[in-house]
Amino acid sequence: MATAVLDHSSTGDLGSERPQNRRKISTGKVLATVVTAVLAVIWLIPFAWAAVTALKSETEAAAAPITWLPASGFTLDAFTEVLSAGNLPTWTWNSLFTSACITVITLVISALCAYALSRIDFKGRKLLMGVIVGSIIIPPPVLIIPLFYQMLALNLIDTYWAIILPQVLHPAMVYVLKKFFDQIPRELEEAAVMDGAGRVRVFLQIVLPLSKPIMSAVAIFVFINAWNNFLWPFIATNETSLLTLPVGLQTIESAFGIQYAQNMASALLAALPLIIVFLFFQRQIIRGVATTGLAGT
């Protein structure tokens, strides 16, 4: 009888604790949702202002005082002027082509290097890993002058290769991939080796399929970084037909003065491919960041 009473009291205590835990969890979720919503609104305000400005005429975009809604209504004249200039499609193609090439080459180099550091015990392995980790803290502008002279010596200035080659080495991506490969059980590879598979086949048919989330996340981050890069393409190219989108938009501003509506329209058109990429691959980005700690690198 005492045991029954004890069991009843203990179950009653547990039952009284469950609603409290649920209230705590629900309160935390509500607070996180509110904070996220506020941050999203703060982030959307500049984007909304850019969209509204791009839909104004040049006169109203530069008029004072500043207003959100134009008096004469919205217009697509800024987008028409930007698209009719003829340079934006060329610059977009240059950015798309160079960013895609940089992404593919970076993935190949980083994955092979990371797998070797993770699985092959060779002489100087720790030293090489230390150099890779140390090179992460080196700011890219420090390397601009030696890279420029190197491209100049190879007669690659004003070519696509001058834009692509200096951007294919990402020590941070090698480090992230190496950490991910370390988490893959070696027993899977040992079983494949016992079945007669070589190291290349193990890498292609076992390691890479298991690494799809992190490979997708790394590819998207590299692509976005290459697409947004301004400084190096600005230095490596002078011909208008080879300019990338960020560099091309800057030349428009310096040549024709400040045209707010057209500048905002150009910025929106430049950001559109990245928005599309994120919408299609946001699951891979979130999964890669959540499972590998990429946000901390």
Whether 25 and 150 share a structural domain: no
More confident residue, 240 or 65: 240
Please indicate, yes or no, if residue 59 is contained in any of the structural domains.
Answer: no
Helices 260-292 and 2-54: crossing angle in degrees, nearest 10, is 150
Supply the DSSP string of 239-292, one letter for each residue: SGGG--HHHHHHHHHHHH---HHHHHHHHHHHHHHHHHHHHHHHHHHHHHHHHH
Question: In this structure, are 131 and 83 located in the same domain?
Answer: yes
Of 181, 226, 217, nearest to 294 by C-alpha is 217
The beta strand positions in the chain, using DSSP E, are none
Q: What band does 160 get if pLDDT is binned at 50, 70 and 90?
A: very high
Six-digit token string for 21: 């835990």
- Domain match, 118 and 189 both: yes
Q: Is residue 45 part of a domain?
A: yes
Of 61 and 31, the structure prediction assigns the larger pLDDT to: 31
Instruction: With respect to residue 60, please indicate whether it lies within any of the assigned structural domains.
Output: no
195 and 241 inside one domain: yes
What's the Rg (C-alpha) of the chain?
27
- The span from the CA of 213 to the CA of 215, in Å, is 6
pLDDT at 257: 58
Judgement on whether residues 194 and 84 belong to the same structural domain of the protein: yes
Candidates 114, 113, 236, 105; CA nearest to 182 is 114
- Under 8 Å CB-to-CB from 195, ≥6 apart: which residues? none
78 has pLDDT over 50: yes
> Is residue 61 assigned to a domain?
no
Q: Do 50 and 152 lie in a common domain? A: no
Answer yes or no: do 286 and 180 share one domain: yes
The answer to whether residue 276 is domain-embedded is yes
CATH classification of the domain holding 142: 1.10.3720.10
Number of compact structural domains in the chain: 2
Do 238 and 128 reside in the same domain of the chain? yes
pLDDT for the residue 287 = 67
What is the arithmetic mean of pLDDT over 17-39?
A: 72
Range of the domain at 263: 78-296
**116 and 232 belong to one structural domain:** yes
Q: Is the pLDDT of residue 5 over 50?
A: no
Here the tokens at position 204 are: 């292609």
Does residue 13 have a pLDDT over 70?
A: no
pTM: 0.75
69 in any annotated domain: no
- Residue 160: how many CB atoms within 10 A of its CB? 15
The residue with greater pLDDT, 132 or 281, is 132
66 located within any domain: no
Task: Indicate if 136 and 45 belong to the same structural domain.
Answer: no
| 141 within some domain | yes
pLDDT above 50: residue 295 = no
